[in-house]
Amino acid sequence: MNVSFIGLGIMGSRMANNLLKHDGIILTVFNRSPEAAAHLEKVGAKAADSARDAVAEADVVFTMLSAPEVVEKVAFGDGGFVDAMSKGALWVNCSTVNPSYTRECDERSRGRGLRFLDAPVAGTKMPAEMGELTFLLGGESSDIDQVRPLLDHMGQKILHVGPAGQGSAFKMLVNALLAQSMLVYCETALLGEKLGFSRDFLMDTLPNLPVTAPFLKGKAALIKEGDYETQFPLELMLKDLHLLDVTAYEQKQPLFLAGLAKSVYGQANRAGHGRDDFSSVFEYLAKPGQALGEGRAAVPDRSA
């Protein structure tokens, strides 16, 4: 099977590396920054000079890109790869985009004689590296069956939630909980410090309570050490909250608390935390009056 992977960032590079462990494929990779493909080329992948070249002979094309506008440019813009795919080939989009745009991608792909799967993932850098992601799939069961062996090399769970668009819809729900749970935890812990409890005590105790989201156990250990190495960039969490906002508007469903969360992450982004892990919102909330960009490079505001 000829497989292509486009988008080799924090997640995509690790997912593609796990695909190389599959004996039955020939993997071609492409990234807009060619340096990102160098390691994969050394361990057996073929590096293409363009997205179109990457998909020319592909049976399956995976994409892991940062935002809808990037998917639009790389897939459908000038030099976009969709028109270079063979009829009947399968595009598996693992990028986190809004459901309405996903359904548009599905319609446009099928209009060109292609097949499409909506396949965002739950998990961050370490699960991607360990092949322990959860795939949230929208699309035809027969298409899922074709790529299941490939998904099994990158993830530990496959959740088929409906037709194309429903994978992205479910990812909106997952990230809504993720973003807000982090804020609730950070605010609670910071208040606990003001009430006289040590940070070590709070970070060791609060995550083990039944009312605390399980993922916060790992995050609390890193917050305690002041370690905000990027697992899931705060600027991408802000992007996902914006997509959640767009989706809620389209569905005429108000999201009051998620809107507040978007505002907080937007301010943390303006304060320079955009390329840190999203848990760095703890540091921002500890110093809410910090000057824009103080002590670090400013990151463009993506809250609009």
Residues in contact with 90: Cβ distance below 8 Å, sequence separation at least 6, in sequence order: 59, 60, 61, 114, 115, 116, 117, 143, 146, 147
8 Å CB contact between 97 and 168: yes
Question: Could you tell me if 132 and 123 are in contact, meaning their C-beta atoms sit under 8 angstroms apart?
Answer: yes
**Which of 191, 167, 175, 169 shows the shortest CA–CA distance to 261?**
175
Is-catalytic flag, 73? Answer: no
Question: Distance between CA 127 and CA 81 in Å, rounded?
Answer: 28
CA distances from 232 to 153, 276, 299 (A): 21, 8, 15
Can you tell me whether residue 265 is helix, strand or coil?
helix
Residue 55 amino acid letter:
V
At 285, list the tokens: 């909330």
CA distances for 295 relative to 87, 97, 108, 272, 275, angstroms: 52, 32, 45, 8, 14
Relative to beta strand 26-30, strand 2-6 is: parallel
Q: How far is CA 179 from the centre of its chain?
A: 13
Check if the beta carbon of residue 11 is closer than 8 Å to that of residue 128. yes
Residue among 42, 125, 171, 219 flagged as catalytic: 171
Cβ atoms of 179 and 237 closer than 8 Å: yes
Give the residue numbers annotated as catalytic, written as ranges. Answer: 171
